[in-house]
């Protein structure tokens, strides 16, 4: 596996990003064209197909969103615990979730300092990741 760094840390799941989402979105578009083209005639079946694709697309999107939200909550707790182990204090409650999620890539040596800097300078997640000198890879992110 390639060593993870700022340039390659984003994760794409090929089956999800290149097949499921495009295919279900294409189904929504195609079925919408068929449905709206059938108005004035027999539109019941095209409407049901359109509705089915909208529900499928929404379900696929929600499954991904829910998994990411749970994962973000777990990361927040893990990083709070890590900060506590390193400093004896929990992370500042004013740090935003995006900042904490970005901080997970910082090695233990720079984590507390970078967390304080992220809060004082209101760094964006991208700025935090760019500031990391010793990258701590996260290969388990969904």
Q: What is the pLDDT of residue 90?
A: 96
Residues 6 or more apart whose CB falls under 8 angstroms from that of 45 comprise none
Q: What is the pLDDT of residue 1?
A: 61
Quick check: 35 and 49 in contact, CB under 8 A?
yes
Give residue limits of the domains in the chain.
Answer: 11-131
* 12 alpha-carbon distance from chain centroid: 10
Tell me the mean pLDDT per 10 residues along the chain, length 142: 73 89 97 91 93 97 94 95 96 95 95 96 95 86 71
> In whole angstroms, what is the distance from residue 20 CA to residue 32 CA?
18
Q: If DSSP codes are grouped into helix, strand and coil, which group holds residue 85?
A: helix
Bridge partners for 106 per DSSP: 135
Q: What is the pLDDT of residue 137?
A: 82
Q: pTM of the full predicted structure?
A: 0.78
Q: What is the pLDDT of residue 10?
A: 76
> In whole angstroms, what is the distance from residue 106 CA to residue 25 CA?
37
> In whole angstroms, what is the distance from residue 85 CA to residue 139 CA?
22
Picking from 47, 100, 39, the residue whose alpha carbon sits closest to that of residue 75 is 100
Picking from 74, 68, 80, the residue whose alpha carbon sits closest to that of residue 111 is 80
């Amino acid at each position: 596996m390639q060593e993870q760094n700022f340039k390659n840390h984003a994760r794409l799941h090929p089956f999800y990003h290149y097949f499921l989402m495009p295919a279900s979105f294409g189904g929504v578009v195609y079925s919408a064209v068929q449905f709206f083209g059938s108005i004035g005639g027999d539109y019941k079946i095209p409407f049901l197909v359109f509705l089915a694709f909208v529900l499928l697309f929404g379900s696929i999107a929600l499954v991904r969103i829910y998994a990411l939200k749970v994962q973000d909550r777990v990361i927040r707790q893990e990083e709070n615990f890590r900060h506590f182990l390193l400093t004896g204090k929990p992370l500042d409650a004013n740090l935003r979730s995006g900042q904490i999620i970005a901080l997970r890539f910082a090695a233990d040596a720079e984590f507390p300092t970078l967390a304080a800097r992220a809060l004082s300078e209101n760094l964006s997640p991208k700025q935090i990741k760019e500031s990391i000198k010793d990258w701590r890879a996260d290969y388990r992110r969904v």
